[in-house]
Amino acid sequence: MSQPQAHDPGATVAGGGAPAPAEQTPAQTNGEPLSYEAAAGRVEEIIRRLDSGEASLDETLALVSEGKRLIELCASQLAAVGDALEELRLDELVTRLEREASA
């Protein structure tokens, strides 16, 4: 019976040349949340790797899972920006209405 092997963060995913997922979540780098640009860039890398047809089944599953998390991160960041813009528009509308009411 073989002994379980310890996880090596620098190891590659079986059958693929890409590094195995690190202990950090893909939504973080150096303990800090990824920017929208960094997350979107990583999604593009994942798509290129998947499109190459060279990823093993295990690597494909890991990449799809990572990609899903990154897309959700991007979507939440875009929604936050949209909410902030909507709030700005409402603030501008209130200011304009107050100006018109006092004129």
Q: Give the pTM.
A: 0.63
Count other C-beta atoms under 10 Å from residue 31's C-beta: 6
Please give the distance of CA 102 from its chain centroid, rounded to a whole number. 47
Is pLDDT at 101 greater than 80 in this prediction? yes
What CATH architecture applies to the domain 28-102?
A: Orthogonal Bundle (1.10)
Residue 31 pLDDT = 72
Q: What are residue 12's phi and psi, to 5 degrees?
A: -95, 155
Residue 68 pLDDT = 98
pLDDT tens digit string along 52-89? 999 999 999 999 999 999 999 999 999 999 999 999 99
